[in-house]
Amino acid sequence: MSVEPVTAKDYEARICPQLQLTKTEIEEISEMLLYEELSRARIRDLEEGIRAQRARGSARAVRRWTRVARWAARRAERYQNQD
């Protein structure tokens, strides 16, 4: 007994022989795909903006913690010199 791999395309071809689309249906599908592509483009733009914002926030956090570390080091040095 041998088993042949069946793709979704093969399966659909057996179930719906020769699906005939009207011009209106083709236009509707094309319009739907256009909106889908536009939404994907918007999502990509948002993701890029978020990445840039995180990079700026990360740099800001590094500067802030560097200042805090400098302050803590000066303070520790000051208290060590008092003893």
pLDDT in tens, the chain (83 residues): 566 666 766 666 665 555 677 878 777 888 888 889 999 999 999 999 999 888 888 888 999 999 999 999 999 999 888 76
In sequence order, the 6+-apart residues with CB closer than 8 A to the CB of 51 are none
Handedness of CA 9, 15, 21, 25 (dihedral sign): negative
Whole-number Å distance between alpha carbons of 75 and 81: 10
In sequence order, the 6+-apart residues with CB closer than 8 A to the CB of 29 are 21
Whole-number Å distance between alpha carbons of 23 and 44: 31
- Amino acid letter, residue 28: E
